[in-house]
Protein backbone atom coordinates (compact mmCIF):
# COMPACT_ATOMS: atom_id res chain seq x y z
CA UNK A 1 0.00 0.00 0.00
CA UNK A 2 1.69 3.18 -1.08
CA UNK A 3 1.94 6.12 1.29
CA UNK A 4 -1.06 4.91 3.21
CA UNK A 5 0.32 6.06 6.53
CA UNK A 6 0.93 9.60 5.28
CA UNK A 7 -2.75 9.92 4.48
CA UNK A 8 -2.29 11.59 1.10
CA UNK A 9 -5.32 13.22 -0.44
CA UNK A 10 -6.95 10.90 -2.92
CA UNK A 11 -10.46 12.23 -2.39
CA UNK A 12 -10.53 13.67 -5.91
CA UNK A 13 -10.68 10.07 -7.16
CA UNK A 14 -13.86 9.39 -5.21
CA UNK A 15 -15.33 12.70 -6.39
CA UNK A 16 -14.56 11.91 -10.02
CA UNK A 17 -16.34 8.63 -9.60
CA UNK A 18 -19.37 10.42 -8.14
CA UNK A 19 -19.55 12.88 -11.05
CA UNK A 20 -19.40 9.99 -13.47
CA UNK A 21 -22.14 8.20 -11.53
CA UNK A 22 -24.42 11.23 -11.63
CA UNK A 23 -24.46 11.01 -15.41
CA UNK A 24 -24.11 7.27 -15.90
CA UNK A 25 -25.94 5.53 -13.04
CA UNK A 26 -27.76 2.45 -14.26
CA UNK A 27 -31.50 2.83 -14.12
CA UNK A 28 -32.19 -0.14 -11.86
CA UNK A 29 -35.70 -0.54 -10.41
CA UNK A 30 -34.47 -0.82 -6.81
CA UNK A 31 -32.64 2.50 -7.16
CA UNK A 32 -36.04 4.25 -7.00
CA UNK A 33 -36.38 3.37 -3.33
CA UNK A 34 -34.63 4.09 -0.04
CA UNK A 35 -36.70 1.52 1.80
CA UNK A 36 -34.06 -0.34 3.85
CA UNK A 37 -36.05 -3.56 3.71
CA UNK A 38 -36.01 -3.59 -0.11
CA UNK A 39 -32.39 -2.45 -0.34
CA UNK A 40 -31.40 -5.21 2.10
CA UNK A 41 -33.24 -7.91 0.10
CA UNK A 42 -31.77 -6.71 -3.14
CA UNK A 43 -28.23 -6.61 -1.74
CA UNK A 44 -28.62 -10.23 -0.66
CA UNK A 45 -30.24 -11.32 -3.92
CA UNK A 46 -27.67 -9.67 -6.16
CA UNK A 47 -24.58 -10.69 -4.24
CA UNK A 48 -24.15 -13.80 -6.34
CA UNK A 49 -26.75 -13.38 -9.04
CA UNK A 50 -26.51 -11.20 -12.11
CA UNK A 51 -29.07 -8.41 -12.18
CA UNK A 52 -30.66 -9.63 -15.43
CA UNK A 53 -31.06 -13.11 -13.92
CA UNK A 54 -32.25 -12.13 -10.47
CA UNK A 55 -34.58 -9.22 -11.16
CA UNK A 56 -37.71 -11.30 -11.82
CA UNK A 57 -37.11 -13.33 -8.66
CA UNK A 58 -36.46 -10.19 -6.63
CA UNK A 59 -39.71 -8.59 -7.87
CA UNK A 60 -41.69 -11.76 -7.04
CA UNK A 61 -40.11 -11.95 -3.61
CA UNK A 62 -40.89 -8.37 -2.60
CA UNK A 63 -44.36 -8.59 -4.16
CA UNK A 64 -45.19 -11.52 -1.88
CA UNK A 65 -43.23 -10.19 1.14
CA UNK A 66 -43.45 -6.40 0.77
CA UNK A 67 -42.20 -5.57 4.27
CA UNK A 68 -40.41 -6.92 7.32
CA UNK A 69 -43.64 -7.88 9.11
CA UNK A 70 -45.07 -9.93 6.24
CA UNK A 71 -41.77 -11.75 5.87
CA UNK A 72 -41.40 -12.39 9.59
CA UNK A 73 -44.90 -13.86 9.81
CA UNK A 74 -44.52 -16.16 6.78
CA UNK A 75 -43.78 -19.87 7.03
CA UNK A 76 -40.14 -20.70 6.40
CA UNK A 77 -41.03 -23.18 3.65
CA UNK A 78 -42.85 -20.48 1.72
CA UNK A 79 -39.89 -18.11 2.02
CA UNK A 80 -37.64 -20.83 0.67
CA UNK A 81 -40.11 -21.49 -2.13
CA UNK A 82 -40.03 -17.83 -3.20
CA UNK A 83 -36.23 -17.98 -3.18
CA UNK A 84 -36.37 -20.70 -5.83
CA UNK A 85 -34.06 -19.94 -8.73
CA UNK A 86 -31.68 -17.83 -6.64
CA UNK A 87 -29.75 -20.70 -5.04
CA UNK A 88 -27.96 -20.30 -1.73
CA UNK A 89 -31.09 -21.23 0.23
CA UNK A 90 -29.36 -20.56 3.53
CA UNK A 91 -29.70 -16.88 2.61
CA UNK A 92 -33.48 -17.21 2.42
CA UNK A 93 -33.50 -18.88 5.84
CA UNK A 94 -31.31 -16.12 7.28
CA UNK A 95 -33.42 -13.36 5.75
CA UNK A 96 -36.49 -14.89 7.35
CA UNK A 97 -34.79 -15.13 10.76
CA UNK A 98 -33.46 -11.57 10.47
CA UNK A 99 -36.97 -10.28 9.74
CA UNK A 100 -38.19 -11.95 12.94
CA UNK A 101 -35.22 -10.45 14.78
CA UNK A 102 -36.22 -6.96 13.55
CA UNK A 103 -39.77 -7.56 14.83
CA UNK A 104 -38.63 -8.70 18.28
CA UNK A 105 -35.43 -6.68 18.89
CA UNK A 106 -36.24 -3.47 16.99
CA UNK A 107 -40.05 -3.31 17.28
CA UNK A 108 -40.42 -3.96 13.56
CA UNK A 109 -38.32 -0.91 12.61
CA UNK A 110 -35.28 -1.54 10.43
CA UNK A 111 -32.16 -0.53 12.42
CA UNK A 112 -30.32 2.55 11.08
CA UNK A 113 -26.79 2.12 12.37
CA UNK A 114 -24.14 0.01 10.64
CA UNK A 115 -23.29 -1.82 13.89
CA UNK A 116 -26.94 -2.66 14.54
CA UNK A 117 -27.63 -3.83 10.97
CA UNK A 118 -24.57 -6.04 11.30
CA UNK A 119 -26.24 -7.89 14.19
CA UNK A 120 -28.99 -9.20 11.90
CA UNK A 121 -28.77 -12.86 10.99
CA UNK A 122 -26.84 -13.44 7.77
CA UNK A 123 -25.86 -9.79 7.34
CA UNK A 124 -22.17 -9.24 6.72
CA UNK A 125 -20.07 -6.09 6.63
CA UNK A 126 -20.75 -5.48 2.95
CA UNK A 127 -24.54 -5.58 3.28
CA UNK A 128 -24.56 -3.57 6.51
CA UNK A 129 -22.41 -0.88 4.86
CA UNK A 130 -24.57 -0.82 1.71
CA UNK A 131 -27.90 -0.54 3.58
CA UNK A 132 -26.69 2.00 6.14
CA UNK A 133 -25.01 4.21 3.51
CA UNK A 134 -27.79 4.07 0.90
CA UNK A 135 -30.71 4.43 3.31
CA UNK A 136 -29.36 6.24 6.38
CA UNK A 137 -26.37 8.27 5.22
CA UNK A 138 -23.94 5.82 6.85
CA UNK A 139 -20.24 6.32 6.19
CA UNK A 140 -18.88 2.81 5.61
CA UNK A 141 -17.64 1.70 2.18
CA UNK A 142 -19.44 -1.45 0.96
CA UNK A 143 -16.29 -3.32 0.08
CA UNK A 144 -16.76 -6.27 -2.29
CA UNK A 145 -15.01 -7.76 -5.29
CA UNK A 146 -15.58 -4.56 -7.28
CA UNK A 147 -13.66 -2.56 -4.67
CA UNK A 148 -10.84 -5.09 -4.63
CA UNK A 149 -10.49 -4.94 -8.39
CA UNK A 150 -10.83 -1.19 -8.91
CA UNK A 151 -8.65 -0.19 -5.94
CA UNK A 152 -5.90 -2.69 -6.67
CA UNK A 153 -5.76 -1.36 -10.24
CA UNK A 154 -5.99 2.34 -9.38
CA UNK A 155 -3.18 2.01 -6.81
CA UNK A 156 -1.38 -0.79 -8.71
CA UNK A 157 -1.50 -2.58 -5.38
CA UNK A 158 -0.48 -6.23 -5.30
CA UNK A 159 -2.17 -7.18 -2.03
CA UNK A 160 -3.47 -10.71 -2.45
CA UNK A 161 -7.27 -10.51 -2.67
CA UNK A 162 -7.65 -14.10 -1.46
CA UNK A 163 -5.83 -13.21 1.77
CA UNK A 164 -8.10 -13.29 4.81
CA UNK A 165 -7.07 -9.72 5.62
CA UNK A 166 -8.05 -8.43 2.17
CA UNK A 167 -11.36 -7.03 3.36
CA UNK A 168 -9.74 -4.87 6.04
CA UNK A 169 -6.90 -3.88 3.75
CA UNK A 170 -9.14 -2.69 0.91
CA UNK A 171 -11.55 -1.03 3.35
CA UNK A 172 -8.66 1.08 4.57
CA UNK A 173 -7.68 1.87 1.00
CA UNK A 174 -11.29 2.76 0.16
CA UNK A 175 -11.36 5.29 3.00
CA UNK A 176 -8.57 7.20 1.23
CA UNK A 177 -10.83 8.02 -1.70
CA UNK A 178 -14.18 8.07 0.11
CA UNK A 179 -16.22 11.23 -0.57
CA UNK A 180 -19.03 12.51 1.69
CA UNK A 181 -21.88 10.88 -0.22
CA UNK A 182 -20.95 7.35 0.67
CA UNK A 183 -24.25 5.77 -0.43
CA UNK A 184 -23.85 7.07 -3.99
CA UNK A 185 -20.17 6.24 -3.94
CA UNK A 186 -20.90 2.62 -3.02
CA UNK A 187 -23.39 2.32 -5.86
CA UNK A 188 -21.00 4.09 -8.23
CA UNK A 189 -18.31 1.54 -7.43
CA UNK A 190 -20.77 -1.24 -8.19
CA UNK A 191 -21.59 0.28 -11.58
CA UNK A 192 -17.96 1.05 -12.44
CA UNK A 193 -16.95 -2.50 -11.54
CA UNK A 194 -19.64 -4.11 -13.63
CA UNK A 195 -19.71 -1.74 -16.63
CA UNK A 196 -16.19 -0.31 -17.00
CA UNK A 197 -13.53 -1.81 -14.73
CA UNK A 198 -14.67 -5.34 -15.55
CA UNK A 199 -12.62 -8.38 -14.56
CA UNK A 200 -11.73 -9.04 -18.21
CA UNK A 201 -11.22 -6.43 -20.91
CA UNK A 202 -11.89 -3.32 -18.81
CA UNK A 203 -12.88 -0.24 -20.81
CA UNK A 204 -10.01 1.93 -19.57
CA UNK A 205 -10.37 4.57 -22.30
CA UNK A 206 -13.91 5.30 -21.11
CA UNK A 207 -13.06 5.11 -17.43
CA UNK A 208 -13.50 8.28 -15.33
CA UNK A 209 -10.49 7.23 -13.22
CA UNK A 210 -8.02 6.56 -16.03
CA UNK A 211 -5.91 9.66 -15.36
CA UNK A 212 -5.40 8.51 -11.78
CA UNK A 213 -5.06 4.81 -12.44
CA UNK A 214 -1.51 3.58 -11.88
CA UNK A 215 -2.06 0.17 -13.45
CA UNK A 216 -3.39 1.86 -16.58
CA UNK A 217 -0.55 4.33 -16.83
CA UNK A 218 1.98 1.50 -16.34
CA UNK A 219 0.11 -0.64 -18.90
CA UNK A 220 -0.23 -3.36 -16.28
CA UNK A 221 -3.98 -3.55 -15.86
CA UNK A 222 -4.06 -7.29 -16.55
CA UNK A 223 -1.72 -7.89 -13.58
CA UNK A 224 -4.27 -6.62 -11.05
CA UNK A 225 -5.90 -7.68 -8.87
CA UNK A 226 -3.47 -10.27 -7.54
CA UNK A 227 -5.01 -13.53 -6.41
CA UNK A 228 -2.60 -16.07 -5.01
CA UNK A 229 -4.38 -19.20 -3.96
CA UNK A 230 -7.07 -20.87 -5.92
CA UNK A 231 -9.56 -22.99 -4.02
CA UNK A 232 -9.79 -26.36 -5.66
CA UNK A 233 -13.34 -27.69 -5.88
CA UNK A 234 -13.88 -30.91 -3.92
CA UNK A 235 -15.48 -33.94 -5.55
CA UNK A 236 -18.49 -35.31 -3.72
CA UNK A 237 -20.57 -38.37 -4.52
CA UNK A 238 -24.21 -38.66 -3.49
CA UNK A 239 -26.75 -41.41 -3.89
CA UNK A 240 -30.54 -41.09 -3.96
CA UNK A 241 -33.43 -43.45 -4.46
CA UNK A 242 -36.48 -42.17 -6.26
CA UNK A 243 -38.96 -44.55 -4.62
CA UNK A 244 -42.34 -44.30 -6.35
CA UNK A 245 -45.61 -46.05 -6.86
CA UNK A 246 -48.66 -44.93 -8.88
CA UNK A 247 -47.39 -41.37 -9.29
CA UNK A 248 -46.48 -40.95 -5.63
CA UNK A 249 -42.92 -40.76 -4.34
CA UNK A 250 -41.03 -40.43 -1.07
CA UNK A 251 -39.13 -37.41 0.20
CA UNK A 252 -37.67 -35.93 3.37
CA UNK A 253 -36.44 -32.51 4.44
CA UNK A 254 -32.68 -32.19 4.72
CA UNK A 255 -31.23 -31.47 8.13
CA UNK A 256 -27.61 -31.52 7.09
CA UNK A 257 -26.40 -28.01 6.66
CA UNK A 258 -23.23 -28.52 4.68
CA UNK A 259 -25.29 -28.17 1.48
CA UNK A 260 -28.95 -27.65 0.58
CA UNK A 261 -30.09 -27.03 4.15
CA UNK A 262 -33.86 -27.48 4.63
CA UNK A 263 -34.51 -28.44 1.01
CA UNK A 264 -36.33 -31.69 0.25
CA UNK A 265 -34.56 -34.76 -1.06
CA UNK A 266 -35.25 -38.38 -2.00
CA UNK A 267 -34.33 -41.20 0.40
CA UNK A 268 -30.54 -41.60 0.49
CA UNK A 269 -30.91 -45.33 1.25
CA UNK A 270 -33.45 -48.12 0.92
CA UNK A 271 -34.13 -51.45 2.62
CA UNK A 272 -33.25 -54.82 1.04
CA UNK A 273 -36.94 -55.44 0.29
CA UNK A 274 -36.88 -52.57 -2.22
CA UNK A 275 -33.76 -53.64 -4.11
CA UNK A 276 -35.67 -55.93 -6.57
CA UNK A 277 -37.73 -52.92 -7.64
CA UNK A 278 -34.76 -50.89 -8.85
CA UNK A 279 -35.38 -50.35 -12.58
CA UNK A 280 -32.51 -48.07 -13.51
CA UNK A 281 -29.99 -45.48 -12.43
CA UNK A 282 -29.12 -42.05 -13.75
CA UNK A 283 -25.94 -40.19 -12.91
CA UNK A 284 -26.02 -36.42 -12.94
CA UNK A 285 -23.25 -33.90 -12.34
CA UNK A 286 -23.85 -30.66 -10.55
CA UNK A 287 -21.50 -27.85 -9.54
CA UNK A 288 -21.76 -25.89 -6.32
CA UNK A 289 -19.28 -23.35 -5.00
CA UNK A 290 -16.15 -25.38 -4.16
CA UNK A 291 -17.92 -28.69 -4.77
CA UNK A 292 -18.36 -30.92 -7.80
CA UNK A 293 -21.24 -33.28 -7.15
CA UNK A 294 -21.80 -36.58 -8.86
CA UNK A 295 -25.27 -37.83 -8.00
CA UNK A 296 -26.60 -41.32 -8.69
CA UNK A 297 -30.37 -41.40 -8.69
CA UNK A 298 -31.86 -44.89 -8.63
CA UNK A 299 -35.33 -45.33 -10.05
CA UNK A 300 -37.24 -47.63 -7.69
CA UNK A 301 -40.70 -48.48 -8.96
CA UNK A 302 -42.39 -50.38 -6.14
CA UNK A 303 -44.92 -52.72 -7.74
CA UNK A 304 -45.93 -54.37 -4.47
CA UNK A 305 -48.37 -52.42 -2.33
CA UNK A 306 -47.35 -54.44 0.69
CA UNK A 307 -43.64 -53.58 0.32
CA UNK A 308 -44.53 -49.92 -0.31
CA UNK A 309 -46.71 -49.70 2.80
CA UNK A 310 -44.14 -51.51 4.88
CA UNK A 311 -41.31 -49.22 3.80
CA UNK A 312 -43.40 -46.14 4.57
CA UNK A 313 -44.39 -47.52 7.98
CA UNK A 314 -40.77 -48.35 8.84
CA UNK A 315 -39.38 -44.94 7.85
CA UNK A 316 -40.27 -41.32 8.39
CA UNK A 317 -40.41 -40.28 4.74
CA UNK A 318 -43.20 -38.07 3.44
CA UNK A 319 -45.29 -39.19 0.50
CA UNK A 320 -45.88 -36.65 -2.24
CA UNK A 321 -46.96 -36.55 -5.86
CA UNK A 322 -45.79 -34.48 -8.80
CA UNK A 323 -48.56 -31.94 -8.33
CA UNK A 324 -47.85 -31.14 -4.69
CA UNK A 325 -44.09 -31.39 -5.19
CA UNK A 326 -44.34 -27.97 -6.91
CA UNK A 327 -44.99 -26.47 -3.48
CA UNK A 328 -41.72 -27.77 -2.09
CA UNK A 329 -38.16 -26.78 -2.82
CA UNK A 330 -35.69 -29.38 -4.04
CA UNK A 331 -32.04 -29.07 -5.02
CA UNK A 332 -31.79 -28.31 -8.73
CA UNK A 333 -30.77 -31.81 -9.93
CA UNK A 334 -33.61 -33.48 -7.99
CA UNK A 335 -36.07 -30.88 -9.22
CA UNK A 336 -35.05 -31.68 -12.80
CA UNK A 337 -35.45 -35.39 -12.12
CA UNK A 338 -38.99 -34.87 -10.78
CA UNK A 339 -39.97 -32.71 -13.74
CA UNK A 340 -38.74 -35.39 -16.15
CA UNK A 341 -40.73 -37.96 -14.22
CA UNK A 342 -43.75 -35.65 -14.36
CA UNK A 343 -43.44 -35.46 -18.15
CA UNK A 344 -43.12 -39.23 -18.48
CA UNK A 345 -45.92 -39.90 -16.02
CA UNK A 346 -48.33 -37.70 -17.94
CA UNK A 347 -48.15 -40.11 -20.88
CA UNK A 348 -48.69 -43.29 -18.89
S1 LIG B 1 -8.40 2.85 -15.96
FE2 LIG B 1 -8.94 0.75 -16.42
S3 LIG B 1 -8.02 -0.44 -14.83
FE4 LIG B 1 -8.00 1.65 -14.13
S5 LIG B 1 -9.86 1.83 -12.91
FE6 LIG B 1 -10.35 2.47 -14.98
S7 LIG B 1 -11.11 0.65 -16.02
FE8 LIG B 1 -10.10 0.01 -14.15
Q: Indicate which residue of 7, 43, 211, 223 is catalytic.
A: 43
Q: Is the CB of 197 under 6 A from ligand 1?
A: yes
Q: Is residue 4 part of a domain?
A: no
Residues 66-90 have a mean pLDDT of 92
In a shared domain, residues 187 and 242: no
Where does a domain end: 168, 203, 223?
223
Residue 322's pLDDT is 87
Q: Are 274 and 241 in contact (CB under 8 A)?
A: yes
In a shared domain, residues 46 and 181: yes
Q: Is the CB of 68 under 6 A from ligand 1?
A: no
How many A from CA of 39 to the centre of ligand 1? 28
Compute φ and ψ for 254, nearest 5 degrees. -70, 140
Atom number in ligand 1 closest to CA 204: 2
Is residue 2 pLDDT above 50, yes or no?
no
In a shared domain, residues 185 and 66: yes
Task: Clarify whether 43 is annotated catalytic.
Answer: yes
Tell me the pLDDT tens digit for each residue of 187-208.
Answer: 999 999 999 999 999 999 999 9
Q: Is the CB of 153 under 6 A from ligand 1?
A: yes
In a shared domain, residues 255 and 320: yes
Judging by beta carbons within 10 Å of its beta carbon (0-12, 13-18, 19+), is residue 346 exposed, middle or buried?
exposed
Please tell me the number of Cα atoms within 13 Å of 83 on its side-chain side. 28
Where does a domain end: 193, 223, 253?
223
Residue 347's pLDDT is 55
Atom number in ligand 1 closest to CA 207: 6
Q: Is the CB of 150 under 6 A from ligand 1?
A: yes
Q: Is residue 3 part of a domain?
A: no
Question: How many domains are contained in the chain?
Answer: 2
Is residue 3 pLDDT above 50, yes or no?
no
Tell me the pLDDT tens digit for each residue of 105-143.
Answer: 999 999 999 999 999 999 999 999 999 999 999 999 999
Cα dihedral sign, 19-20-21-24: positive
In a shared domain, residues 96 and 53: yes
Residues 172-181 have a mean pLDDT of 95
Testing ligand 1's pocket by substitution, the residue of 199, 209, 220, 225 carrying the most ligand atoms inside 8 A of its CB is 209
What's the CATH number where 140 sits? 1.10.340.30
What's the CATH number where 316 sits? 3.90.79.10
Q: Is residue 70 part of a domain?
A: yes
Q: Is residue 2 part of a domain?
A: no
Q: Is residue 5 part of a domain?
A: no
Partner residues linked to 234 by β-bridges: 291
Q: Is the CB of 202 under 6 A from ligand 1?
A: yes
Domain of 82, in residue numbers: 10-223
Q: Are 310 and 239 in contact (CB under 8 A)?
A: no
How many A from CA of 101 to the centre of ligand 1? 41
Tell me how far apart the alpha carbons of residues 284 and 335 are, in angstroms, rounded to a whole number: 12
Residue 232's pLDDT is 79
Tell me how far apart the alpha carbons of residues 276 and 43 are, in angstroms, rounded to a whole number: 50
Amino acid sequence: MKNINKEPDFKHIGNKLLSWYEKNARDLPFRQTKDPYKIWICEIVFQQTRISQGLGHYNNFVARFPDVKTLAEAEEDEVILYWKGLGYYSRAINIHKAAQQIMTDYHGKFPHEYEEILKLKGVGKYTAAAVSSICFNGKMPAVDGNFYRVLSRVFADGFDISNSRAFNYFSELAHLILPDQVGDFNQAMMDLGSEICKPKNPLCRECPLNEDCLAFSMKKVSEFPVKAKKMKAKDLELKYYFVHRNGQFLIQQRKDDFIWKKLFEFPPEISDALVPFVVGVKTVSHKLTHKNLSIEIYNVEVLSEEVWNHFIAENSYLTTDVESSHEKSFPKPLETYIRNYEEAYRFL
